[in-house]
A and B are shown apart, each in its own frame.
Chain A
């Protein structure tokens, strides 16, 4: 696999919404490349006809009844909010 370049890392960092200082991009690219090179070994395994594992839990999904069992607790929900008003969360304005 090819090494990750600065631009790719910058893109990944943005997709992950983590700001990475310019000078940190190169060392980070090297770290990530090391890890990706190492996991590359998986390509040598023959997985033809093998189903990807969906869950180790060998059972079917439990369905719950259509009842209202929570809510009506805006104070608890917002208790840890960094910024709020009138039971609404506040964030820097989004321009659509």
Chain B
């Protein structure tokens, strides 16, 4: 269903493009040998180049090139075997060189596509315009000192992949789906950890609006550095609403950079960016063009893991899962792997159900990740098997599962110890049925008289009498036979 903003002069639709900066996973920075790891003491991970000292020169890190190509392949994008690094010139306290080494008209990765998984199970294909490599800036802190700002250059020089989407999204939901999918892909590829709250993945949101059916694009604004999926969606809502209001009031939208204020739920203009930036891009003369040797891209392609879309298709087509279930499971590679271990050689749909409905509920409640699951995949798999081969009923399985969550124990052992094996011996069940029928002749007569619903009560009584261990299916059948005959 299309996302429309209703205005007095008509209906408005949104045009959304996202620019996402992903910090590349590598030991060292893109052009210097300092560590790229997060969390060090201020200015400890700083080489003289990162501090912009005189005479220092960049030398490229091969790992970062691999990671960029890997990500490009994950986005089904064209890899450019010839690309150029360019300087983006501007002045800021956290930019030690007075320019950012980036890529301009010849990026390493060209056009690609990404499939969004939307709420109702639908999918939408969104275009990727490009991916290029660039260095990150340092960090400034403005609240540590009354009149001064503190600069830490640990982050300056870390490799970033800037991924630019085509302006193909039309709603906050789609934007959210884009970010979730992108995060999923880079985590599968291990090229970025996708932690928006830690800042290793940052999103700039480009929003413009237009009347439904209008051709062409109106002026867009850029809302920078939004650091969660939720905030991105809120920022889009707020900014689109603001733009519509401006237009409806007869005003014009100015192309500008804005910031999202989560506490107010609105965007505001960035005062410091008043002057139009003229970045004066030119090819960096300290570097030569980046040429990928023959076979380089192919070799990386060979080492790609199965990506979310392929895995989802396989789960649907080969394992018989519903599109929804498949989507949920493949969102995180670790979850998909867990599920596959549970499902191996077992009823896949049942396994999916237990993982999604039962296990994930526990993980959410306890606030732990799948890597720290109290129940191992091996054990959960055994539980699924015990259900499938009728050793225990679904009802009993839930109890066993609760014990497994608490103890991390093996379900087979738990069933043994607690004597929870399902009773399928018809003799024992018949005996129980006879007893209950004898004690409730009046109800038997009611059922014979047409009140079918009382059967359920009888089943309940038999289950109670057998401490829930009787196979409900068998109970049902025998009960019907005995009462109805």
- 10 smallest CB-CB distances across A and B, nearest first, come from A69-B33, A66-B63, A63-B62, A70-B47, A88-B150, A71-B34, A89-B151, A74-B43, A61-B288, A70-B33
Residue of A nearest to B151 (CB): A89
Distance A91 CA – B151 CA, assembled complex (angstroms): 8
A86 contacts chain B at the CB level, 8 A cutoff = yes
Set of chain B residues within 8 Å of A68, measured between Cβ atoms: 27-28, 33-35
What number of residue pairs across chains A and B have CB atoms under 8 A from each other? Answer: 130
The A-contacting residues of B in range 57-92, CB under 8 angstroms, are 59-65, 84, 91
> Smallest Cβ distance from B33 to chain A, in angstroms?
3
The B-contacting residues of A in range 43-79, CB under 8 angstroms, are 54-55, 57, 59-74, 77-78
Q: Jot down 16 A-B pairs with beta carbons below 8 A, ordered by A.
A: A54-B84, A60-B291, A63-B65, A65-B63, A66-B64, A68-B35, A71-B46, A73-B46, A77-B153, A78-B43, A87-B43, A88-B141, A91-B149, A92-B147, A93-B149, A96-B271
Q: A54-B288, A71-B45 are in contact. Are A64 and B51 (CB under 8 A)?
A: no
Residues of chain B having any CB pair with chain A under 8 Å: 26-28, 32-35, 41-48, 51, 59-65, 84, 91, 93, 140-142, 145-153, 259, 270-272, 275, 278, 280, 283, 285, 287-291
> Smallest Cβ distance from A91 to chain B, in angstroms?
5
Distance A87 CA – B142 CA, assembled complex (angstroms): 16
A17 contacts chain B at the CB level, 8 A cutoff = yes
Residues of chain A having any CB pair with chain B under 8 Å: 14-15, 17, 54-55, 57, 59-74, 77-78, 83, 85-96
Since A66-B27, A93-B148 are in contact, a sample of 20 more A-B pairs with Cβ atoms closer than 8 Å, ordered by chain A residue number, is A15-B280, A54-B84, A59-B288, A61-B289, A61-B291, A66-B62, A70-B48, A71-B34, A71-B35, A72-B44, A74-B43, A77-B46, A89-B153, A91-B93, A92-B147, A92-B148, A93-B142, A95-B272, A96-B259, A96-B270
**CB atoms of B290 and A88 under 8 A apart:** no
Distance A77 CA – B45 CA, assembled complex (angstroms): 10
**CB atoms of B272 and A96 under 8 A apart:** yes
**CB atoms of A91 and B148 under 8 A apart:** yes
Residue of A nearest to B92 (CB): A94
Distance A55 CA – B278 CA, assembled complex (angstroms): 24
> Smallest Cβ distance from A53 to chain B, in angstroms?
10
> Smallest Cβ distance from B54 to chain A, in angstroms?
10
Cross-chain contact of B149 among A14, A63, A92 (Cβ < 8 A): A92
**CB atoms of A54 and B289 under 8 A apart:** yes
Q: A64-B59, A70-B33 are in contact. Are A77 and B51 (CB under 8 A)?
A: yes
> Smallest Cβ distance from B433 to chain A, in angstroms?
71
Set of chain A residues within 8 Å of B51, measured between Cβ atoms: 77
Distance A59 CA – B142 CA, assembled complex (angstroms): 45
Distance A66 CA – B62 CA, assembled complex (angstroms): 6
Residue of B nearest to A60 (CB): B291
Q: Which of B26, B33, B41 has the most CB of A within 10 A?
A: B33
Set of chain A residues within 8 Å of B45, measured between Cβ atoms: 71
**CB atoms of A66 and B259 under 8 A apart:** no
Distance A15 CA – B278 CA, assembled complex (angstroms): 8
**CB atoms of B272 and A88 under 8 A apart:** no
**CB atoms of A61 and B60 under 8 A apart:** yes
**CB atoms of B61 and A63 under 8 A apart:** yes
> Smallest Cβ distance from A61 to chain B, in angstroms?
4
Distance A71 CA – B45 CA, assembled complex (angstroms): 5
Set of chain A residues within 8 Å of B27, measured between Cβ atoms: 66-68
Set of chain A residues within 8 Å of B140, measured between Cβ atoms: 91, 94
Set of chain A residues within 8 Å of B48, measured between Cβ atoms: 70, 77
Distance A54 CA – B150 CA, assembled complex (angstroms): 38
**CB atoms of B60 and A64 under 8 A apart:** yes
> Smallest Cβ distance from A50 to chain B, in angstroms?
16
Distance A52 CA – B154 CA, assembled complex (angstroms): 36
Residue of A nearest to B98 (CB): A17
> Smallest Cβ distance from A78 to chain B, in angstroms?
6
Distance A29 CA – B15 CA, assembled complex (angstroms): 44
Cross-chain contact of B43 among A17, A61, A77 (Cβ < 8 A): A77
> Smallest Cβ distance from B450 to chain A, in angstroms?
77
Distance A22 CA – B235 CA, assembled complex (angstroms): 43
Q: A95-B142, A96-B142 are in contact. Are A60 and B271 (CB under 8 A)?
A: no
Q: A65-B62, A66-B61 are in contact. Are A74 and B288 (CB under 8 A)?
A: no
Distance A17 CA – B259 CA, assembled complex (angstroms): 25
Residue of B nearest to A68 (CB): B35
> Smallest Cβ distance from A90 to chain B, in angstroms?
5
Cross-chain contact of B288 among A60, A78, A91 (Cβ < 8 A): A60
Cross-chain contact of B41 among A55, A74, A89, A91 (Cβ < 8 A): A74
Residue of A nearest to B36 (CB): A68
Set of chain B residues within 8 Å of A72, measured between Cβ atoms: 44
Set of chain A residues within 8 Å of B287, measured between Cβ atoms: 61
Residue of B nearest to A75 (CB): B43
Distance A83 CA – B148 CA, assembled complex (angstroms): 10
